[in-house]
Amino acid sequence: MSSADLAQSIGRELPYLRRYARALTGSQRAGDNYAAATLEAILSDRSILLEEDDTRIGLFRTFHAIWQSSGQPVDDSNRTTREMRAQDHLRNLTANSREALLLRTIEELRFDQIGRVMQVDEAEAEELVRIALNEMSASMRGKVMVIEDEMIIAMDLKGIVQAMGHEVTGVARTHSAAIELAGQSRPDLILADIQLADGSSGIDAVNELLRDMGDIPVIFITAFPERLLTGERPEPAFLISKPYNEEQVRSAVSQAMFFASTEGLDAA
């Protein structure tokens, strides 16, 4: 593969590597630092990527090697208290389980591909995903608001969230309805589409809610992920493409609630 072809191939996969990194760290800044370190490693030694015939797998495997060797965000000098507590909380989970879960549910890799990324066999990759689902889903409960104009999808999301043991505060179909609903009951997590009824924007609604209510985790579920995977700031830590499946939603909700729950943890 020529240098130009390799660069083009990496460019196609980079938004998804950044999505994975943000979900893994719970922080856009830390996730982007990891993605940048991955690219630097490839630039210094192109052979580490050429060992894989699949650019995506090679890119994620290089990332994972850096993640494993560092054990914390590449540049943690400006980490918030919440992020530091989240990292402490992560140490209580089974090693490699969250990584496997995200690769499976958000990035939709097969178990054999996860094994290649993480350098484990296929059976271990599958077991790590099972462990992660159990550990993450059992760790916390909270209030979830759904912003979605398609009622069938909204009811499906509501059912998934409630089956996980969370309370759904309501469903909003427009920007104004979302602001009103949040005012009635402050959510711990927001599930939002980006294109709403009456032409309003879920992104605008979420931005207004975050300005008014502070740092609430958000999961965008959209048929237009390219609108949010631009490399511009800010970007969501959690992004699911439509059509989605239940496993993806459950994983993202558990991850987001996990990071949100660290706000109340003692520093120790």
Phi, psi for residue 171 in degrees, rounded to 5: -120, 130
The pLDDT assigned to 82 comes to: 52
Please tell me the least confidently modeled range out of 44-58, 133-147, 152-166, 235-249.
133-147
Interval 192-199 mean pLDDT: 89
Interval 175-194 mean pLDDT: 94
H or E element, residue 22: helix 3-25
Question: 131-134: long-range contacts at Cβ-Cβ below 8 A with a sequence spacing of 24 or more?
Answer: 131/94, 131/97, 132/93, 132/94, 132/97, 132/98, 132/100, 132/101, 133/101, 133/250, 133/251, 133/254
If you ran DSSP here, which 8-state letter would residue 195 be given?
B
Burial of 23 (0-12, 13-18, 19+ CB in 10 A): buried
The pLDDT assigned to 224 comes to: 78
Interval 40-57 mean pLDDT: 85
Encode pLDDT of 124-151 as tens digits: 999 998 898 777 666 567 899 999 999 9
Farthest CA pair distance, the chain: 57
The pLDDT assigned to 265 comes to: 27
Interval 216-222 mean pLDDT: 89
The pLDDT assigned to 252 comes to: 87
SS3 per residue for 246-261? HHHHHHHHHHHHHHHH
Please tell me the least confidently modeled range out of 23-37, 42-56, 61-75, 77-91.
77-91
The pLDDT assigned to 70 comes to: 81
Encode pLDDT of 93-105 as tens digits: 788 898 998 898 7
Give yes or no for a contact between 86 and 262, defined as CB atoms under 8 angstroms apart.
yes
pLDDT-derived band at 268 (thresholds 50, 70, 90) equals very low
Interior angle at CA 247, CA 243 and CA 250, nearest 5: 105
Residue predicted with more confidence, 214 or 139: 214
